[in-house]
Amino acid sequence: MQMPFFVYILASKRNGTLYVGVTNNLGRRMAEHKSKLLPGFTRQYDVTLLVYFETFESVLEARSREHSLKRWRRTWKLKLIEELNPDWRDLTNELNTLAT
């Protein structure tokens, strides 16, 4: 069975700073973001809340979607988050259900 790929959106807070990324292990990647051990944008701006993610079967599909989302207007990203996560819950704890 092939590992899925994930495109995800992080936020610093509701309607705060947004970050779009891609990974093949969302649980590990979230641990990296939350630990703030790696330098970069998310550490600098305290962007650690997983507010949205999508799953893809291929890295090409995931990277294409990531590229598309990064070019979206901020209002479009906010609308996407609000439609599926209106309370801006941190979805990190829900990742355990993906592993089972």
For the stretch 68-97, pLDDT in tens is 999 999 999 999 999 999 999 999 988 766
Number of domains the chain is built from = 1
AA identity, residue 89: R
Tokens 């509701």, located at residue: 14
pLDDT at 100: 41
- Cβ-based neighbours of 29, under 8 Å, separated by 6 or more: 6, 8, 21, 23
The CATH number given to whatever domain includes residue 27 is 3.40.1440.10
Per the structure, the complete domain to which residue 57 belongs is given by: 5-99
pLDDT at 98: 58
pLDDT at 96: 67
For the stretch 22-38, pLDDT in tens is 999 999 999 999 999 88
For the stretch 7-18, pLDDT in tens is 999 999 999 999
Instruction: Indicate the Cα dihedral angle 87, 70, 43, 82, nearest 10°.
Output: 0
Over range 61-70, report the average pLDDT: 98
